[in-house]
Amino acid sequence: MSGPAALRAWLAEQLREDRARWALWAPVGLGVGIAAYFLLDREPSPWAAPFAILLAVCALVAGRGALRGLAVALLICAIGFGAAQVRTWSVATPILDEETRPIAVEGRVVGIDRLEGEGLRVVLADVAFPRARADDPVPARVRVRLHPGDRAPPPGARFALKAILRPPPDPAEPGAYDFRRHAYFLRIGAVGFALAPGTVVAPPPTEGWAAVEAGLERLREDIRARVAARLEGAEAAVTTALLNGEPSAIPEEDLEALRLSGLQHLLSISGLHIGLVAGLMFFAVRALLAGIEPLALRRSIKKWAAVAAVLAAGAYTLLVGAPVPTQRAMLMTGLMMLAILVDRSPLSMRVIAFAATVVLLTQPEALMGPSFQMSFAAVLALIATYEAVGGWFGRRHAEAGPLGRAWLYVLGLALTSAVAGGATTPFALYHFQNVANYGVLANLIAVPITSFLVMPAGMLALLLMPFGLEGWALEAMGAGVAGVLWTAHWVAGLPGSAFIVRAVPWEAMALLTLGGVWLMLWLRRWRLAGGAVAIAAVLLALSSGRPDVVVAPSGALVGLRMADGTLLVSSGRAARFEAETWQRRDGLPGEPAAWGRHGDGSDALRCDRTGCLWRRDGITVAVVAVVEALAEDCAVADAVIAPELVVRNCAAPLVVDSRALDRRGAHALRIGEGGIILETARADRMARPWN
Q: What are phi and psi of 481, to 5 degrees?
A: -60, -40
Q: What order of strands is seen across the sheet that includes strand 567-569?
A: 567-569, 558-561, 549-551, 667-672, 675-680
Which domain-ending residue is among 90, 124, 141?
90
Which domain-ending residue is among 57, 90, 123?
90
CATH of the domain at 137: 2.40.50
Number of residues that this document lists for the chain: 691
| CB environment 251-275: b (16+ within 10 A), e (fewer) | eeebbebbbbbbbbbbbbbbbbbbb
Q: What share of the chain is helix, strand, coil (3-state, %, to 5)?
A: 55, 15, 30
* Predicted local confidence at residue 391, as pLDDT: 77
189 and 232 share a domain? no
Which domain-ending residue is among 171, 204, 237?
204
Task: Evaluate the CA torsion angle 213, 218, 221, 223 in order and state its sign.
Answer: negative
- Asked whether residue 346 carries a pLDDT value surpassing 70, the answer given is no
Mean pLDDT of 318-326: 75
* Predicted local confidence at residue 2, as pLDDT: 60
Mean pLDDT of 359-365: 92
468 and 606 share a domain? no
Mean pLDDT of 468-484: 94
DSSP string for 3-65: HHHHHHHHHHHHHHHTGGGGGGGHHHHHHHHHHHHHH-SSPPPTTHHHHHHHHHHHHHHH--T
Lowest mean pLDDT among 290-294, 339-343, 547-551, 569-573: 339-343
572 and 596 share a domain? yes
Lowest mean pLDDT among 62-71, 518-527, 614-623: 62-71
Residue 525 resides in a domain: yes
Residue 668 resides in a domain: yes
Residue 151 resides in a domain: yes
**What's the rounded Cα separation, in Å, for the pair 401 and 31?**
45
Mean pLDDT of 472-482: 95
* Predicted local confidence at residue 272, as pLDDT: 65
Which residues touch 509 (CB under 8 Å, ≥6 apart)?
426, 427, 430, 537, 541
Query: Angle 415-417-422 (CA atoms, 0-180°, nearest 5)?
Result: 95
- Asked whether residue 164 carries a pLDDT value surpassing 90, the answer given is yes
* Predicted local confidence at residue 174, as pLDDT: 94
Residue 214 resides in a domain: no
665 and 534 share a domain? no
Which SS3 state, helix, strand or coil, does residue 442 take?
A: helix
CA neighbor of 179 nearest in space, from 431, 441, 520, 507 = 431
Separation in Å, CA 330 to CA 24, 26, 185, 304, 362: 19, 20, 21, 18, 14
| Cα atoms in the Cβ-side hemisphere of radius 13 Å centred on 571 | 15
DSSP string for 248-307: TTS-HHHHHHHHHHT-GGGTS-SHHHHHHHHHHHHHHHHHHHHTSHHHHHHS-HHHHHHH
**What's the rounded Cα separation, in Å, for the pair 274 and 446?**
17
Q: What is the DSSP secondary structure assignment for residue 474, as one 8-state letter?
A: H
155 and 176 share a domain? yes
**What's the rounded Cα separation, in Å, for the pair 453 and 476?**
7
Residue 218 resides in a domain: no
Mean pLDDT of 604-618: 90
Lowest mean pLDDT among 133-137, 388-392, 544-548: 133-137
Secondary element (H or E) of residue 200: strand 199-202
247 and 284 share a domain? yes
Q: Which pLDDT tens digit goes with each residue over 229-287?
A: 999 989 999 999 899 888 777 888 998 899 888 888 787 776 667 777 888 888 888 88
422 and 456 share a domain? yes
* Predicted local confidence at residue 296, as pLDDT: 67
Which SS3 state, helix, strand or coil, does residue 228 take?
A: helix
**From the CB of residue 212, how many other CB atoms can be counted at a distance below 10 Å?**
13
- Asked whether residue 1 carries a pLDDT value surpassing 60, the answer given is no
Task: Evaluate the CA torsion angle 635, 636, 637, 642 in order and state its sign.
Answer: negative
Rounded to a whole number, what is the distance in angstroms from the first to the last CA of the chain? 55
* Predicted local confidence at residue 545, as pLDDT: 86
Secondary element (H or E) of residue 470: none
**From the CB of residue 601, how many other CB atoms can be counted at a distance below 10 Å?**
10
- Mean pLDDT, the chain, whole residue set: 87
* pLDDT bracket for residue 102 (50, 70, 90): very high
* pLDDT bracket for residue 325 (50, 70, 90): low
* Predicted local confidence at residue 553, as pLDDT: 94
Cβ atoms of 95 and 168 closer than 8 Å: yes
474 and 571 share a domain? no
Domain span at 48 = 3-90
DSSP string for 310-350: HHHHHHHHHHTT--HHHHHHHHHHHHHHHHHHTT--S-SHH
Cβ atoms of 593 and 562 closer than 8 Å: no
642 and 599 share a domain? yes
* Predicted local confidence at residue 239, as pLDDT: 93
Which residues touch 29 (CB under 8 Å, ≥6 apart)?
73, 76, 77, 79, 80
**What's the rounded Cα separation, in Å, for the pair 334 and 353?**
13
Mean pLDDT of 565-582: 90
Which SS3 state, helix, strand or coil, does residue 623 take?
A: strand
**From the CB of residue 221, how many other CB atoms can be counted at a distance below 10 Å?**
17
Mean pLDDT of 54-59: 90
* pLDDT bracket for residue 371 (50, 70, 90): confident
Residue 650 resides in a domain: yes
Mean pLDDT of 151-164: 92
* pLDDT bracket for residue 347 (50, 70, 90): low
Tally of structural domains, the chain: 5
Q: Which pLDDT tens digit goes with each residue over 493-504?
A: 999 888 888 898
132 and 183 share a domain? yes
CA neighbor of 412 nearest in space, from 440, 391, 393 = 393
80 and 110 share a domain? no
Cβ atoms of 243 and 461 closer than 8 Å: yes
18 and 163 share a domain? no
* Predicted local confidence at residue 423, as pLDDT: 86
Name the more confident of 448 and 38. Answer: 38
Mean pLDDT of 641-666: 93
Give the pairing of strands 654-657 and 639-642. parallel
Name the more confident of 28 and 294. Answer: 28
Share of the chain above pLDDT 70, in %: 97
Maximum pairwise Cα distance, the chain: 95
Give the pairing of strands 639-642 and 619-624. parallel
Residue 211 resides in a domain: no
**Which residue type occupies 643?**
P
Lowest mean pLDDT among 48-57, 286-295, 490-499, 664-673: 286-295
Q: Which pLDDT tens digit goes with each residue over 16-53?
A: 888 888 889 999 999 999 999 999 999 999 999 999 99
Which of 215-224, 289-298, 414-423, 505-514: highest mean pLDDT? 505-514
Residue 568 resides in a domain: yes
DSSP string for 97-115: SSPPSSEEEEEEEEEEEEP
Name the more confident of 681 and 572. Answer: 681
